[in-house]
Structure 1
Amino acid sequence: MTDVLILGAGYAGIRAAKTLSKFAPQNTTITLVDKNTIHAEKTQLHEVAAGTMPADKITFDIRSILPKSVNFVQAEVKKVNVDAKTVDFVDHDTMAYDYVVVALGFRSESFGLPGADENALPLEDIPSAEKIFETIEAHVANYAKSQDRKDLSIIVAGAGFTGIELLGELTHTVPKLQAKYNTPDIQVTSMEMATRILPMFDESLANYAMEYLQDHGINMMTGTKITKIEPNAVVYGDGESEKRVYGNTIIWTVGVSGSDVIAESGFEQRRNRVVVTDKLNLKEHPEVFIVGDVSAAMDPSSNRPYPTTAQISTREGNLAAKNIASAIQGGALEPFTYESIGTVASLGGADGIAQVGAKQRKYKGFMAKVLKRAVVDKSLFEDANLSTMFKKGRWPL
């Protein structure tokens, strides 16, 4: 009997559980552990945060989509004890393992910026996404009483992938809220330290996204170094002087780090990401596989870690499961190889940018949005099942 624990039911964890159920010997016990019973398609959190999609459209019950050979335990991981081959939990008895897949996902990272944790709203899960939209609407509704223009100012700190997709959705939300509450113009401001957005895309596509957002009323402030977050303002440096953008809704999408369980467990890490071998495990503890947002799998072509994306996470989960199944049976382990099938970013209801395929073909506008919807449906099909895709997917257009 071999006991395999999979910690985290995100993209990597669910894929590892499903793949392991296919390839592991029959006397293998597979247990998937997550503190939640609901899986969220986190690549779509920006829609919930902008109020353009209800949370139940991007979530599903974890137990309902697991193979019968996979056990599910709802518990919050506290610490992985690699020497003892056990896992401690906040709300469950300690569990032992022969192999473990650590796939605990990300958390929002403030990088120690003064006031960020206290005064900005992170976007990291369903509750935080719902809180963002509730805050936006509450402030807009309050304007009739307050007459405070800060109630009509939304600031998005960070113009990375998530920030840009959130801004795209807000171009649809803002006019509706303005009409609903009969307010003057609602101002949305994006503040980003880099001078160019979306470096993972061809510059022409990044420029298209920039122009789209500006044409739809977003104040894009690139090359802006944020120095502090106050209760109703984002402070930034302008030469030797200090300036402020005022707003009562401040959203933080600057960056993420891995789960704090990584540091708590004593792993050698940076921003709670652990460098793994090319087999996705630890050299000193080959029974420990680390995948997804807590893994720093190295790209041999650049000698840098692969980025943390859902596409990479699912592939890592898949390979970790195959390697565990092979190890149980005394077989060889395969190295992780990765080639992107493309990148697609939504810019709201019917627009987007895409760079896909071996030739990195470029698309923008409605065709890119079609591709984005196809990506969402494919994810629902692979993470859950066909019936979930039909119930929660984005077809027909």
Structure 2
Amino acid sequence: MRHTWRWFGPKDPVSINDMMQAGVKGVVTALHHIAPGTIWSPDEIVKRQQQLAVMTDGAPSGLSWEVVESLPVSEAIKTQTGEWRGHVQNWITSMRHLKDAGIEVICYNFMPVLDWTRTELNWRRPNGATCMRFDLIDFAAFDLHILKRPGAEVDFPEEIREAAARRFAKMDASRQQQLAANIVSGLPGAAVNFSLSDVRDLLQSYAPVTAEVLRRNFHDFLEQVAPVAQDIGVRLCCHPDDPPFDLLGLPRIMSTEADFAERIAAVDLPANGITLCSGSLGARPDNDLPGMMQRLGDRVHFLHLRNVRRDSDSVPASFFEDEHLGGQTDMVALIDAILREETRRRAAGRPDHQIPMRPDHGQNILDDHRRNTQPGYPAIGRLKGLAELRGVEAALSHRSAA
């Protein structure tokens, strides 16, 4: 695996020096300040490359921008409204500019409205570490009593509605505001920050968009962008829904192995690939991560390795971000499947035989508690996760070589 690290740009409290000392080989970043639907100019791309190429004292870092995460797909594209056709062309132009700059892997997602959803950003664990958590009762309290989404009642069973009402009754104004802010925080560092009014308006814009319509719109998008990516030598990798089930009355269509298989088959080109995120997909008990890597590995262009622990095996369910070797995904089996896929690619002579991987998320530990890092992206917690993942990789590689 190619060890990489997500960086949110010059304002990220985790510095280039920190990344280097973590021992990563490449950087995963994006132009978070540019709004969805807008072209990423060559000048902006080069500026970001120059920023990560030097340490804080000006010495060369030796690091380069290897994976884009994410080149955002606008809501207009997902709903096929407004200037969506122009946004698709801008997306293609940005992709060409990235390729011209030497960047060949682009991660994106097709999640409606919110890129990820958590109810707690600093949930305390028994050992004092903190992590992100999705609490289904808190989420229902938000949906039913804070957002007051019309029709939300039918999306929750009676026992969840009753529990949410009790939970909401105990919340003071400060807790209500914090819960709402956690849920609508969206992508860390993004150019767009949503208010509750914005969310209501966006939900209304999705009123005619069923799961079938969203799938069709996604296929239309792929039919336009994937052939260009194939022609110029770019690998596209769609990130799964996070969490992998419907929320806020919105359809989510990248939540299961069947979803990924359908999208791959829709435009059957090697450039049309996936980001295998073990944390997002692991929030469903019916997602077999090692098996998915074995069956879909040919199209896995990017890896997010993290682990979650569900409160139950229902869908949806509450869950929290566990340690990288904790949680309910067998990380050893998953890494074994990854290494077997890399071996197969190497034997086939594929230039992309080494799959870029980043240690996704992490618990805040030690000095992480004194840094104001992006939610889920501490320095030491991710370093710990990367070290554990490396250890598994080294042990499995040693066994294979014996």
TM-score, normalised by the number of residues in structure 2 = 0.25
Choose between structure 1 and 2: higher strand proportion: 1
With CA pairs under 8 Å and 6+ residues apart, which has the higher RCO, 1 or 2?
1
Choose between structure 1 and 2: higher helix proportion: 2
State which structure, 1 or 2, has the greater radius of gyration over its C-alpha atoms: 1
